Amino acid sequence: MQEREGGAALAPGEAVLVVGAGAMGRGIALVAASAGHLVFLSDVSEEARRRALTAIAEELDGGVRKGRMSAEEASAIRDRIRAVAEPQSVASQVRLVIEAIVEDLEVKRVLFASLEPLVPPQAILATNTSSLSITAIAAPLARPERVVGMHFFNPPTRMKLVEVVSGLATAPEVAQAIRDTAVRWGKIAVMARSTPGFIVNRVARPFYAEALRVLAEGAADCATLDAIVREAGGFPMGPFELMDLIGHDVNFAVTSSVWSAYFYDKRFQPSLIQQELVWAGRLGRKSGRGFYDYAAGAQRPAAAEAPPCLDRAPSAVAAVGEFGPFSALLERLAAAGVVVHRRPADAGPVRIEAADVWIVPTDGRTATRLAHEYGHADVVVLDWARDWAQTPRAALARADGCAQDSWACALGLLQRAGIAVTPLDDVAGLILARTVAMLANEAADAVLAGIGTPRDIDTAMRYGTNYPLGPLAWGEATGVARIVGLLDRLAELYGEDRYRVSPLLRRHLWNGRPLASGDEGERK
């Protein structure tokens, strides 16, 4: 991502003050010093300052050992970081202040109020808050227009994304200066409007919420659901292992904060399962136990997998209707020696007919509902996958009345294509389909609310969470009609506002324009 013309990025000779020497503060200080700035790292705790300088030195030494920099370069960076006890003592020397202190609105307000009269008139006051309102932080100041969010992700030295967040009073040139500074520091910067969760912490909520709901409904265990999301979806981690890594206290607090900030919108409702883990002190890796056990010698449970049924695989199938992104599965079956007869759509669902069984790509209806609606007992529903040409795993669920022979036929068919099959209980939307649909829906609503452009929202989710695709691009690749149809059926089944379709998704369904547009104006 290139720096925009006319940007006002900080020059390397201008000093930066980072307040708070915890993990985030020291990481931000190292990023700024590596870009050539003199950095004052402030913390009231002498021990925190000492630990921060030690950690910075260790990270620089590691960079030298790995050949990322010379010893001289590491020494120069180290020399540009100076620890101070009182931020007010150096405030007059800096062009940029970045606070990374406790997530408490009043504490941040007091800090900025103490620094505002001391910093130069052109200095910018940036907050690394991940959840508090930029507008609220800036409101008591004499010049709220120079307050902006500069939200780094942990660890700042490795995560590429920075959210540049504007409050109601933030001057456009201030946001632009921070955006250009982040780019100069080697980051990928996105612009966001100050709303609860900004981009990433809002749009990511369904990744956790849908997995927790499917777990609560007994579809499968954590290891099985994680494996599907990871291997079929291409996500670097499944939702349960990621929540264990983040810490359930942190993840639950963020979800609760976004939920309350949006006046208890059902889309962001926290999970009772996660609340129980927090109450029990099972916070994940840092406590030794969460969804998984991290004690020495503990065995990680394996994902459920269907037994081999290759001997039941049919030699020929019929593919009825338009398969869209599932077409690559048909090609994969053909490459495995299965004869695939294509037939036009009829009054039934899009499906693969293999002997007596219908294999239906999930559209939000359960297999049992499909069996009832079409009067065909042997129905199996198939979850979505990121890339059917290469996916190593797929999830299936069968109708309550599906015969065992038909179930074995469906399992064997996918196994013949080299796909490990994971059986789930018959829940609506299975796991990957409902997760992807809800992520795309939330991203569309964020665009509609003016929180960010489609490009910035997809970029934020790719680099802030390491998703394999931005949710809008994924929704477009899947098909807006499929996303809307699945959400409508979930809303019908659950009777909840949680699954309401974003008006922007419906608009794109009707106008046929690209969902993942690079220019916000293109959707008008």
Q: Which residues are CB-contacts of 485 (< 8 A; sequence separation ≥ 6)?
A: 363, 364
Q: How far apart are CA 504 and CA 510, in angstroms?
A: 10
3-state secondary structure of 19: strand
Catalytic-residue membership of 441: no
Catalytic-residue membership of 151: yes
Q: Which residues are CB-contacts of 227 (< 8 A; sequence separation ≥ 6)?
A: 238, 303, 393, 422
345: which DSSP letter?
Answer: -
Give the position of tokens 């800036």: 138
Q: How far apart are CA 411 and CA 288, in angstroms?
A: 37
Catalytic-residue membership of 92: no
CA distances from 285 to 282, 308, 465 (A): 9, 34, 19
Which residue of the set 14, 99, 163, 210 is catalytic?
Answer: 163
Catalytic-residue membership of 201: yes
Which residue of the set 34, 128, 130, 502 is catalytic?
Answer: 130
Pick from 329, 335, 302, 485: nearest CA to 396: 329
Which residue of the set 37, 151, 248, 376 is catalytic?
Answer: 151
Half-sphere exposure of 136 (CA within 13 A, CB side): 14
Which residue of the set 42, 201, 251, 406 is catalytic?
Answer: 201
Q: What share of the chain is helix, strand, coil (3-state, %, to 5)?
A: 45, 15, 40
Q: How far apart are CA 92 and CA 437, in angstroms?
A: 50
Q: Kindly list the catalytic residues.
A: 130, 151, 163, 201
